[in-house]
Chains A and B, each alone.
Chain A
């Protein structure tokens, strides 16, 4: 077999380049993590030994802990709703033939392609019309809309890969549609549902641009809190906060991936 650029040298060069890209992707994150343990008082380079001072400061900072609380409640709330709506929609999209299927599929993915700034402005203006102002409720609604397409995509991908035989067998053995769903479909797609839910949590927890439009002054989520802190002065405890977030956000998909693999084995 001859590869296209079949000289080994070319592939080596590409490999070296790709290693560079991977370093580029990880280096800034490593810098944040390093600086969070910096003993120097300015928190900037050069490193002057290891210390946990910024973490102590971080955990003593009530406004940051409050932002965490807001972010977590918001993420869990909107993800719950988005997951329920998303799973229902995904089942319809994969398992049923119906009119205007493609148009609806596009509509559901729409939040991915409308610039977030515009989404932010749109919901803000529209809800004011019915007397709803910048608030936690607006955040909840908005984040649900933002997270919905991701849930649909994840669950849809799983359903497409799932043969319909199991469901058909259950139906032919006398189970009704609800029973079939509860006993067959649901267990088979539960890893994808969890995956979609975690994806939604991550999307909500990470969102900043639209959140800046929807939050009322005084409420901060973790990203908007960091944004506000960065604009006043660059305090090194942000690096500690960043490191905490890095661990949280990497742990989440790792657990999700582990669970999915665990469940889908033996299929």
Chain B
């Protein structure tokens, strides 16, 4: 066991070392930086004071941003679940000789550059975009609809990008259910709908939960999609972080905001992890 330990840690040490040095230590360091004092020259002074925290906590603007991001993540997650679950159910239940191909196709867009997939929505939803052009030439509308640069287009962009994550998580879970359980429920007199509600749905909850959490965390933390597809009237939290760090060079405030985002999402992951295993999520990545 001891030799095994030594060998294992020898193999692990480069990966663990770089993660400790370039991931764990930096993330912990943000918390330290959030107490430093900002100076105009950009040489922030190490200190332990709550000025930055109080300034952020008392600024309505930041709370609005946090609320905006969480609302966006919630709506996106619900949309992904509503669209993703039936699709995953279908994929898990059809008898089709080339099911691997269907799953492959589902994940094909996943390989295509995120920024390309996001900007595509500008050409789809814009004033002269595909949808407006089609609707006008069909005579359904006279004036182009305003669908771009608002919350709607942000949600479309996020759902588009996150849906495969949701589908694969639910699919893995549904695919692992022993079909005899459903058959037994039917034999014992359950209707098809009852069987779904009482047997299939509860057994697939781990996958649905994993998918929802993944979608929520990725949506709440997304910077590029709201930036490209969003309008001027909604504030999103990651945008505030970027503004503080890169545009205003106010690193202590940026540090406070980063800690808030990390802690609020971490709390969510922690609560989730108490009820379900995180390994469900990683498993879907490895497929």
Contact = CB atoms under 8 A, between A and B. Distances in A.
A246 B115 CA distance: 11
A136 B105 CA distance: 35
Nearest to B200: A4
Nearest to B42: A128
Interface string A2-19: 111111001100110110
Please indicate which of the listed interface residues B12, B126, B238 has the most CB atoms of chain A within 10 Å of its own CB: B12
A79 interface: no
A111 B193 CA distance: 40
Interface string B226-256: 0010000000001001100110000100110
B221 interface: yes
B226 to A, nearest CB: 11
Please indicate which of the listed interface residues B27, B91, B137, B222 has the most CB atoms of chain A within 10 Å of its own CB: B27
Interface in B128-178: 128-130, 132-133, 137, 160, 163-164, 167
22 contacts: A31-B123, A45-B123, A88-B15, A92-B7, A104-B12, A107-B19, A108-B16, A112-B285, A115-B261, A115-B262, A121-B245, A122-B27, A123-B23, A125-B26, A126-B26, A126-B29, A209-B222, A213-B242, A223-B115, A230-B119, A242-B120, A249-B112
Given A25-B109, A115-B221, A213-B245, A10 B262 contact: no
A119 B23 contact: yes
Interface stretch (A151-159, A165-173, A182-190): A151-159
Contacts, number: 279
B115 to A, nearest CB: 4
Please indicate which of the listed interface residues B15, B86, B183, B242 has the most CB atoms of chain A within 10 Å of its own CB: B15
B81 interface: no
A145 B87 contact: no
A148 interface: yes
Interface residues of A, number: 98
B220 A35 contact: no
Interface string B1-37: 1001101110110111011001111110110010000
Contacts of A226: 115-116, 119
Please indicate which of the listed interface residues B23, B179, B242 has the most CB atoms of chain A within 10 Å of its own CB: B23
Contacts of B196: 4-5
B115 A125 contact: no
Contacts of A191: none
Contacts of A123: 22-23, 26
A118 B262 contact: yes
Interface of A: 1-7, 10-11, 14-15, 17-18, 21-22, 24-29, 31-32, 35, 42, 44-46, 84-86, 88-89, 91-93, 96-99, 104, 106-119, 121-127, 129, 141-142, 144-145, 148-150, 152-154, 156-157, 202, 205-206, 208-209, 212-213, 222-223, 226-227, 230, 234, 238-239, 242, 245-246, 249-250, 252-253, 257
Contact of A98 (B4, B114, B122, B126): B4
B267 to A, nearest CB: 13
B108 interface: yes
Nearest to A256: B111
Contacts of B77: none
User: Chain B interface secondary structure, helix, strand, loop or mixed?
Assistant: helix
A46 B133 contact: yes
Given A108-B15, A125-B26, A242 B160 contact: no
Nearest to A91: B11
Given A27-B124, A28-B160, A230 B179 contact: no
A226 B246 CA distance: 19
Given A98-B9, A122-B258, A129-B29, A11 B120 contact: no
A115 B15 contact: no
Nearest to B228: A230
Give the size range of B's interface with the partner. Answer: 35 or more
A141 B122 CA distance: 33
B57 interface: no
A72 to B, nearest CB: 14
B192 A6 contact: yes
A18 B87 contact: yes
Contacts of A5: 93, 192-193, 196
A250 B261 contact: no
A31 B120 contact: yes
A117 B257 CA distance: 11
Nearest to B31: A122
Contacts of A153: 282, 285-286
A235 to B, nearest CB: 11
Given A5-B193, A122-B27, A156-B286, A145 B22 contact: yes
B266 to A, nearest CB: 8
B71 interface: no
A86 B200 CA distance: 37
Contacts of B74: none
